[in-house]
Amino acid sequence: MLKQRVITALVLLPIALVGFFLLDGGLFALFIAAVVTLGAWEWARLAGFDGQGVRIAYGALVAALLFGLYQVPALALWVLSLGIIWWVAATFMVIGYPGSSRYWGSGAGKLLIGLLILLPAWQGLVLLKQWPLANGLILAVMVLVWGADIGAYFSGKRFGKRKLAPRVSPGKSWEGLIGGLLTSMLITVLVGFYRDWGLADFILAVAGAAVVVLLSVVGDLTESMFKRQSGIKDSSNLLPGHGGILDRIDSLTAAVPVFAALLWLAGWGAL
């Protein structure tokens, strides 16, 4: 298993680096759309549709919607707003699981939720790529999420006692959440010192980082919730040794639109 994971990572790493940081404009949007479309194919299975016909059709629908959004950039703010609304709602769904499943348990409801997860994630990355320090912004949100994951792993392993969401993901603890949150905030503070931010910028950045990380955890827990509801361990076997696309980007699907929305509110980019 370890050998398989390493080989897959060695193959995917250069593809991801080129796609995220060397492509621009339409090619970047197309690259992210390809990833999101594969995620949609996986999501249809989480929604209870095992047949390839339905899964391919859902992926094609998502691809068509992404093409439409690229042609009408004026919709970007609305897409981000829907994403934020969804992740707030998802927080309560995770907290209330399994009782909350009565609100989204139908196949159609799950497919609709897939759109609310995938479309804003694509839109957020496309916007970040268009704004000043484009690659730096994309790297920043990834480092926040990865840093939080690493901090949560080690603090949870060392101090974890109280379960965060035992009915959704028994392995996560409150201590891990706090450790991950503190790690991301420390990273933000270090960047602030390096870039010589003022006090107001420090406060806004640390608060923003906390919001992004907390909702990235919701993104992770949300996929876990749907997998648990469907009785599925991994979203697919597309990435040998790593599961599926969604298993690798679940936290980012929430973090990216939230990060982009916060930057927009701060006046970073123009929509």
Contact 129, 123 (CB under 8 A): no
User: What is the predicted pLDDT for the residue at 5?
Assistant: 61
- Residue 49 parent element (H or E): none
Measured in Å, how far apart are the chain's first and last C-alpha atoms? Answer: 45
In 3D space, the residue among 121, 131, 21 whose CA is nearest the CA of residue 66 turns out to be 121
d(CA 14, CA 11): 7
d(CA 79, CA 56): 23
Query: Backbone phi, then psi, for 165, in 5-degree steps?
Result: -145, 75
pLDDT, tens digit, for every residue of 140-175? 999 999 999 999 999 999 998 899 999 999 889 999
Structure tokens at 16: 């991801």
Q: What is the pLDDT of residue 235?
A: 82
Distance CA 91, CA 240 (A): 30
* Residue 255 confidence (pLDDT): 97
Q: Is residue 13 classed exposed, middle or buried when 0-12, 13-18 and 19+ CB atoms within 10 A define those classes? A: exposed
- Distance set, CA 33 to CA 36, 68, 106 (Å): 5, 12, 26
Q: Which residue stretches of the chain have pLDDT < 50?
A: 2
pLDDT at 233: 84
Angle at 104 between CA 68 and CA 53, to 5 degrees: 55
Q: Which DSSP state fits 162?
A: S
Measure the CA–CA gap between 21 and 165, rounded to whole angstroms: 35
Predicted confidence at residue 3, as pLDDT, reads 55
Q: What is the pLDDT of residue 2?
A: 47
Rounded CA separation 129/21 (Å)? 9
* 62, 119 Cβ separation under 8 angstroms: yes
Question: Which pLDDT belongs to residue 230?
Answer: 85
Looking at residue 177, its pLDDT comes to 96
